[in-house]
Amino acid sequence: MNFIGIIPARYASTRFPAKPLALLGGKPVIQRVYEQVVDLLDETVVATDDERIYDTVKGFGGKVVMTGTHHKSGTDRCYEAYTLMGRQFDVVVNIQGDEPFIHPQQIAAVKACFDDEQTQIATLVKPFTVRDGFAALENVNSPKVVVNNRMQALYFSRSIIPYQRNRDRNSWLEGHTYYKHIGLYAYRSSVLREITALPQSSLEMAESLEQLRWLQNGYTIKVGVSDRETIGIDTPADLEAAERFLRENMKP
C-alpha cells in the first residue's frame, strides 16, 4: 500500500493567528511538522489557503498545494489537496499542522491499522494512566474513546466514558483502561471522498467532534494504540512550552 501524508495548515486561528509560521527553535512550526514525517510516508504535502504559508513551505523545500478558503475541517482540506495531487494513493494520512513533535511510532501505528483490509478509517489513542489523575480524565478538551474487542471505535466523547456506576470516581483510573484520543487520522482514499460529502450529523454537532459524523453514518474507525503523548500548539503559551521541550529533549 502507498500512503500520502497531508498537513492542513491555515493562517487564521482564533487563539493563535499565523501559528504555522511561528518560530520554534528557529524554524516555522509547519516546517517542524513536515520534517518529522516526510521520510515516513510515500509522499508528504502541506495543504494551505494562505500564500504566506505556501511561500514558507516552498522556501524550505517542502511540497505544498493551495486549497480553497471555504473548508470547515482539516478533513475537507485534505480531500481537496488529495485531488489536486493528480496521483492515486491507497491511504491519506491527515497530520495535524500544529504538532511538531509527532513521533515516528505514531505514524507507524496508524499505518499498521491498514494491515486489516477491512479498515476504512484509522486513528490513535493513548491510555490514561493513574498518574494522569482524574482532572486529566474529565478534561472536556481531551476526548475519550471506547472501543470494541476488535479495536474499533464505538464512540468518542468529551465526557468520561464509560461511567463506572459502582465505583468511587477517584479510583476510576484504577478500575478501567480509559483511552485518550490522539487526533491523527488516516482514510482509504475512496472513503475520504465519501465522508467529505456527508452533511453534519446530530452527534457531531452535540459533541463538536467530526469523527462522530462518520460513526453515525456507519463507517468503522480502527484504533491503534500509542504510548506517546502529543504536544499540540494552540496558544502562544503552548509555543513557549514547546520551546522548553525542544531544548530539553531534541536537537534544534
Cα–Cα dist 239/75, whole Å: 24
Q: Is the pTM of this model over 0.85?
A: yes
pLDDT of 230: 78
The H or E element spanning position 203 is: helix 202-207
CB atoms within 10 A of CB 148: 10
Share above pLDDT 90 across residues of the chain, in percent, rounded to a whole number? 85
Cα–Cα dist 217/37, whole Å: 31
pLDDT of 252: 47
Return the residue matching grid coordinates 486529566.
136
Distance in Å from the first CA to the final CA of the chain:
33
Q: Which structural domains are found in the chain, ordered by start?
A: 3-234 (3.90.550.10)
Q: How confident is the model at residue 74 (pLDDT cuts 50, 70, 90)?
A: confident
What is the average pLDDT across 37-64? 97
Contact 214, 121 (CB under 8 A): yes
Mean pLDDT of the chain: 94
pLDDT in tens, 205-241: 999 999 999 999 999 999 999 998 778 888 899 999 9
CB atoms within 10 A of CB 60: 13
Cα–Cα dist 119/94, whole Å: 16
Q: At what angle do helices 51-59 and 29-37 cross, to 10 degrees?
A: 50
pLDDT in tens, 75-90: 999 999 999 998 999 9
- Return the C-alpha cell found at 223: 484504533
